[in-house]
Chains A and B, each alone.
Chain A
Amino acid sequence: AQKITQTQPGMFVQEKEAVTLDCTYDTSDQSYGLFWYKQPSSGEMIFLIYQGSYDEQNATEGRYSLNFQKARKSANLVISASQLGDSAMYFCAMSPLDFGNEKLTFGTGTRLTIIP
């Protein structure tokens, strides 16, 4: 079984500052994928970034980067130079790679609010 823990229910960050959203995971699978999704108030789920468990380099996608520390089982999302439009719920998720990505296990999310 897989488990995702997000310990920050809510965060307030000043605009243009960097923000780190915490995510720890637990799994007995040897290979797995880690994901971050953004859910704005409109409700849709938006894919942000992906990290494979065998990837040695941290994933980056524009202002998003995933700080992957395999030994600590953590996969924190870093948003550089935050913007007002970054205000949303953020979910960390994982999937066993053997099953593809159709079996995502999600954390409970972190609500990020960017303050002007």
Chain B
Amino acid sequence: NAGVTQTPKFQVLKTGQSMTLQCAQDMNHEYMSWYRQDPGMGLRLIHYSVGAGITDQGEVPNGYNVSRSTTEDFPLRLLSAAPSQTSVYFCASSRGASGTQYFGPGTRLLVL
């Protein structure tokens, strides 16, 4: 049982490049979410999903796309990276309304 895994751990991009941050969980959780954490701030919700095929926007969705084709995976796509997207990205999953959110270890992204 690996919990929530994220890859890569660290990535450097140039402005305008695209990439996908991977997130997977093996706990059969229905709910998955993506957050970003900037210095001096708490985590902010980017996108979330309540099940396969269902996604919705969070507080800061601009510049990011998500899809949820399986229960296990919830990738986050940066279409055209900008320096403002330099941040630490966390993926989380939970079983539902009564479930604790389990966080992945995070991906540190630097956009030059």
Give the B-binding residues of A (Cβ under 8 A): 4, 35, 37, 43-47, 50, 91, 93, 97-109
Determine if B45 and A105 form an interchain contact, defined as CB atoms under 8 angstroms apart: yes
Indicate which residue in A98, A104, A108, A109 contacts B45 across the interface (CB closer than 8 Å): A104
Known: A91-B43, A108-B40, A109-B42. A102 touches B105 (CB 8 A): no
Known: A100-B94, A108-B40. A47 touches B100 (CB 8 A): yes
Chain A proximity mask over B13-56: 1 for CB below 8 Å, otherwise 0: 00000000000000000111101000011111100111000000
Determine if B43 and A100 form an interchain contact, defined as CB atoms under 8 angstroms apart: no
Determine if B105 and A47 form an interchain contact, defined as CB atoms under 8 angstroms apart: no
A contact face: mostly helix, strand, loop, or mixed: mixed
Determine if B42 and A91 form an interchain contact, defined as CB atoms under 8 angstroms apart: yes
**What residues on B are CB-neighbors of A107 within 8 Å?**
42
Indicate which residue in A45, A98, A100 contacts B31 across the interface (CB closer than 8 Å): A100
Q: What is the bound-complex CA distance between A104 and B48, given in angstroms? A: 10
Q: B102 at the A/B interface (Cβ < 8 Å)?
A: yes
Known: A108-B40, A108-B42, A109-B42. A100 touches B106 (CB 8 A): no
Determine if A106 and B43 form an interchain contact, defined as CB atoms under 8 angstroms apart: yes
For the A-B complex with A46-B103, A47-B100, A102-B92 known, give 15 more contacts whose Cβ atoms are closer than 8 Å: A4-B42, A44-B106, A47-B102, A91-B43, A100-B30, A100-B31, A100-B97, A100-B99, A102-B48, A102-B49, A102-B50, A103-B58, A104-B92, A105-B59, A108-B40
